[in-house]
Amino acid sequence: MQPPIPSGTILQNRYRILSILGQGGFGRTYLAEDSNRYDERCAMKEFIPPQGSQYTLNKARELFQREAAILYQISHPQIPQFRATFEENQRLFLVQDYVEGKTYRALLNERKVYGSTFSEAEALQLLYQLLPVLAHIHTKNIIHRDIAPDNIILRERDNLPVLIDFGVVKEIVTRFQTPETDVPTTVGKLGYAPSEQMQTGRAYPNSDLYSLAVTAVVLMTGREPHELYDDRNLVWNWQRWVPQVHPGLAEVLHRMLSYRPGDRYQSVSEVAQALQALVTPTAIRPEQSVLPQSPALNPVPTPLPAPPARPTPTAANANLSQMKTIPVGRPAPANYTTNYSTQANPKTTPVRPAPTPVIPTHDTSIWENPWAILSVGLGIATVTGIAAWAIVSAILNTTQPAPTVTPSPTPIVETPISTPAPDPSPTLTPDPQPVEYSQPLNLQPNGAATTVEGNLQAHESIVYTFPATQGQTLTATLEGEGVLLSVLTPDRQPADDQADRVLSWKGPLNASGEFAIRLRPVKGIPASNYRLNASLEEPQQPPPEPSPEPSSSPSPSPVQPDFDVQFLNPDPNGSQVSAQTSDVRIKRYLVNVQPDQVLKAEILAGAVTLTIRYPDGRPVENASGVVTWDARIFEGGDYQIDVVATQPTDFTISVAVQGVPSADNSAN
């Protein structure tokens, strides 16, 4: 391995090395300045190819350039923009934008110092912000393979997560096979990458979803994957560290973390649909809608202690005394006023009137005081008026219906203890009205496929119309996450049971008229790009029969091959079998394999090839016309191993089934 490039070195007469950002087994990343872009900072990755022959280096260059061409197609605001590749001094370099910020690993370490981790709302927000990024790269058939807190940066300028360390190096090393060993190198962080990726080197879109879920539980728990994963029962036990997590979020994460790829969500759109109910205005509180800084910068305020509760009489003290309290002391002076607390509860504390001033008494008669006589007279007049009004009201009430009286609220003299008012009903924003566009599609029978691209919002759909005749075969496929197609007949009904809300459809048209292909977004995806490929084929016409010639005999019909089937129960170390196969009689071996077991097949002698098939007869991916095959099985049953040759040939093969079936299958 060549030594690191010293700081200050200038490459390609424009890139000046500032420092080393990181280093791994496959390369280094430097921080550099680009003099052609006003000394703008950039990240420059050096790929260190595997050591070997000139063939190794040439193959590495070829794959490196091919992968760089793929990255050139990626344009997403949460992915560092690709700039250039170059080679200098037998070193391969890739230049990308530099992202200013901290990795989620660094943010988690900062929080752990203060005894905290990421909240459930922050983990949910991270999932929802990274799913569109994964949808973008998966539509281009790119798998990241290394999602982890170290490879996600919280960008300072907008607080958005940015996915870094894209798999140029990882893709190359995973697919690169040296002629000497023919053994692929697997890629991924231990604990974050799923088993199929670490054991066989194969990765699928839901392999990235698995790694994203591991990242979420690590951020919420502050624990490493090996502390959360039970490798005996093949399950994740992370909820004991986050006992209050929302059941809906826990269910989504558990499915993303399934051991078998078939048990997980198969695409980003499925995860987005599952999270749709959780990502509402009430799911993330306003104060948590933006990821906070480290606890040192934003300390959590300590709540004030609640006031002591007012004692309630109990049976133990209810009978201490039944005697009324008797006031003792001198009478209050005439100018005495009582200052009651304004915090009393009017429902439980009666309003006590102010004490009546004590008026000294003497022997003078009340009738000797003219003011007293006037007061008595006014009182009598008032009582007489009230009585008269009551009599008149009673008479009127007997002839007229009583009006509905709305009682006025009684004024509260004392301020009550504040009771939390119910939250006002949120103002609902009406969903946009559905919009459907229509556009003709030019399909030429037996012509090249027609391709159209576009973007659909959540409330939009588009219908592509085209004329067709009965018997023609339509092929329609979609590229892109978040959009599904439906093939509609002239009466705007699905062409068959498999033609509604699918990614692809192929079949004969059973009528003549104007057909349509309708595209609609998947629920939960706000917007998505798509590419539709469609073609029409005329029905196959049988070739005309040639006129028989007297001197020639008719050509024999091709002979359909038959199969010589034999069931094998191979030894774990491998069982060798020998036989003969040909193009008209193919030797087929049936081998029972259970989930999590490894099936191996290898040709030891003979000019033959192997084709491995699922129990239902479908060919296994990348397993046709091979000389050796080795993979872990996720779907149990009797697998078929066909030994194929172009002429009668003797052969010898080795077949082995290794490993212990999964616990679920063993229980059955």
pLDDT at 187: 61
Residues contacting 191, CB < 8 A, separation 6+: 214, 224, 225, 226, 229
Query: What mean pLDDT is predicted for residues 10-35?
Result: 89
Mean pLDDT over residues 657-665, rounded? 74
Residue 131 DSSP SS3:
helix
Query: Maximum distance among all alpha carbons in the chain?
Result: 163
Q: What percent of the chain has pLDDT over 90?
A: 33
CA torsion sign for 62, 202, 189, 142 is positive
Q: Where does the pLDDT of residue 341 fall: very low under 50, low under 70, confident under 90, or very high at 90 and above?
A: very low
pLDDT category, 440, cuts 50, 70, 90? confident
Q: What is the pTM of this model?
A: 0.46
Contact yes or no for 199/222 (Cβ under 8 A) = no
Mean pLDDT highest for which of 50-54, 445-449, 544-548?
445-449
**Average confidence (pLDDT) over 105-117:** 94
Determine phi and psi for 5, rounding to 5 degrees: -80, 130
Identify the burial level of 619 via C-beta atoms within 10 angstroms of its C-beta, where 0-12 means exposed, 13-18 middle and 19 or more buried: middle
More confident call, 323 vs 664: 664
431 pLDDT band, cuts 50/70/90, is: low
506 is in an annotated binding site: no
Band (pLDDT 50/70/90 cuts) for residue 434 is confident
Kindly state the average pLDDT of the residues 268-294: 58
Model confidence at 265, pLDDT cuts 50, 70, 90, reads very high
Which residues, at least 6 apart from 450, have a Cβ–Cβ distance to it below 8 Å? Answer: 441, 442, 443, 444, 533, 534, 535
Mean pLDDT of 182-203: 76
Closest CA to 173 of 51, 50, 257: 50
What span, in angstroms and rounded, lies between the C-alpha atoms of 139 and 528?
10
* Mean confidence (pLDDT) of the chain: 75
State the sign of the Cα–Cα–Cα–Cα dihedral 329, 331, 335, 340.
Answer: positive
Q: Which DSSP letter does residue 36 get?
A: G
Provide the residue count of the chain.
668
Confidence at residue 382, expressed as pLDDT on a 0 to 100 scale: 62
Considering Cα of 505, then 510, then 512, then 516, what sign does the dihedral take? Answer: negative
Say if residue 554's pLDDT is above 80: no
Q: Which domains does the chain have, with CATH numbers?
A: 10-97 (3.30.200.20), 101-288 (1.10.510.10), 435-537 (2.60.120.380), 562-667 (2.60.120.380)
Q: Please name the residue that has the structure tokens 């959590």.
A: 300
- 67 vs 60: CA distance, rounded Å: 10
**Measured distance CA(220)–CA(212) in Å, rounded:** 13
* Structure tokens, 378: 């006014």
Half-sphere exposure of 5 (CA within 13 A, CB side): 29
The predicted structure's pLDDT at residue 72? 80
Q: What is the pLDDT of residue 355?
A: 42
Q: Are strands 585-593 and 562-568 parallel, antiparallel or unpaired?
A: parallel
List all residues 6 or more positions away from 313 whose beta carbon is below 8 Å from its beta carbon: none
* Residue 291 near residue 160 (C-beta atoms within 8 A): no
Four-residue CA torsion sign, 634, 635, 639, 641: negative
Is 216's pLDDT higher than 90? Answer: yes
- Listed in sequence order, the residues at least 6 apart from 614 whose beta carbon sits closer than 8 Å to its beta carbon are 620, 635, 637, 639, 640
SS3 519: strand
pLDDT band at residue 223, thresholds of 50, 70 and 90?
Answer: very high
Does residue 339 register a pLDDT over 80? Answer: no
State the average pLDDT over residues 514-530: 86
Task: Summarize pLDDT for 291-336 with one digit per residue, the tens.
Answer: 333 333 333 333 333 334 444 434 334 333 333 333 334 444 444 3
User: What pLDDT is attached to residue 562?
Assistant: 78
3-state secondary structure of 170: helix
Helix residue ranges per DSSP H, 75-167: 104-113, 120-138
Averaged pLDDT, 554-564: 64
Q: Which of 592, 471, 572, 477 is nearest to 530 (CA)?
A: 477
Question: Would you call 630 a catalytic residue per the annotation?
Answer: no
Q: Average pLDDT of 387-397?
A: 54
pLDDT of residue 343: 38
The pLDDT score that the predictor gives to residue 2 is 76
Tokens 């929080």 correspond to what residue? 111
* Pairwise CA distance, residues 293 & 156, whole Å: 10
pLDDT at 47: 82
Picking from 244, 210, 243, the residue whose alpha carbon sits closest to that of residue 229 is 210
What residues have CB less than 8 Å from 646, skipping those under 6 apart? 583
**pLDDT band for position 255 (50/70/90)?**
very high
The whole-number pLDDT of residue 69 equals 77
Catalytic hit among 34, 146, 165, 642? 146
* DSSP codes of every residue in 540-602: PPPPPPPPPPTTSPPPPPPPPPEEEEEEE---TT-EEEEEEE-SSEEEEEEEEE-TT-EEEEE
Which pLDDT does position 288 carry in this prediction?
38
Residue pLDDT, tens place only, 496-507 = 988 988 888 999
pLDDT of amino acid 432: 65
- The residue type found at 238 is W
Output DSSP code: residue 186. Answer: P
- Residue 519 has a pLDDT of 92
pLDDT band at 551 (very low <50, low <70, confident <90, very high): low
139-183 pLDDT, tens digit each: 888 888 889 999 999 999 999 999 988 655 555 555 544 444 444
What Å distances lie between residue 97 and 136, 486, 627, CA to CA? 18, 40, 44
- From 388-402, 558-572, 587-601, the region with the lowest mean pLDDT: 388-402
Phi first, then psi: give them for residue 484, nearest 5 degrees: -125, 155
